A and B are shown apart, each in its own frame.
Chain A
Amino acid sequence: MKLKELESCLQQVDTFEEPKILLEQYPTSPHIAACMLYTIHNTFDDVEGKLVADLGCGCGVLSIGAAMLDAGLCVGFDIDDNALEIFKRNTEEFELTNIDLIQSDISSLSSDAYAKKFDTVIMNPPFGTKHNQGMDMQFLKTALTMATTAVYSLHKTSTRDHIQKKASDWGVNMKVIAELRYDLPASYKFHKKKSVSVSFDKL
Chain B
Amino acid sequence: MKLLTHNMLTSHVKGVTKGYPLLIKATEVKVSEEEFNPNFVSRMIPKLEWSALVQAADGLGHLQDLPTELIADYEANEDFLRKVHRVLLEVEVLEGCLQCPESGREFPITRGVPNMLLNEEEA
Contact = CB atoms under 8 A, between A and B. Distances in A.
A110 B117 contact: no
Given A97-B32, A117-B8, A102 B2 contact: no
Interface string B97-117: 000000000000001111111
A79 B47 contact: no
Given A97-B32, A113-B10, 19 more contacts: A49-B39, A50-B40, A51-B44, A72-B40, A73-B2, A73-B5, A73-B40, A75-B5, A84-B113, A85-B111, A88-B111, A100-B112, A102-B114, A103-B113, A103-B114, A104-B116, A105-B118, A108-B123, A109-B12
Nearest to A81: B115
A174 B92 CA distance: 37
A105 B113 CA distance: 14
A2 B40 CA distance: 23
Q: How large is the interface on A (under 10, 10 to 19, 20 to 34, 35 or more residues)?
A: 20 to 34
Interface string A101-136: 111110011100110110100000000000000000
A114 B8 contact: yes
A98 interface: yes
Contacts, number: 61
B112 A88 contact: yes
B8 A103 contact: no
Interface string B1-42: 110110011101000000000000000000010110101100
Q: How large is the interface on B (under 10, 10 to 19, 20 to 34, 35 or more residues)?
A: 20 to 34
A171 to B, nearest CB: 22
Contacts of A116: 47
Interface of A: 49-51, 72-73, 75, 79, 84-85, 88, 97-98, 100-105, 108-110, 113-114, 116-117, 119
23 contacts: A49-B37, A49-B39, A50-B40, A72-B37, A72-B40, A72-B44, A73-B2, A75-B5, A88-B113, A98-B35, A98-B89, A100-B5, A101-B112, A101-B113, A103-B115, A104-B116, A105-B117, A105-B118, A108-B118, A108-B123, A110-B12, A113-B12, A114-B8
Nearest to B89: A73
B8 A79 contact: no
Nearest to A119: B43
B59 to A, nearest CB: 18
Nearest to B41: A72
A49 B113 CA distance: 22
Closest 7 CB pairs of A and B: A72-B40, A104-B116, A103-B115, A100-B5, A101-B113, A49-B40, A117-B8
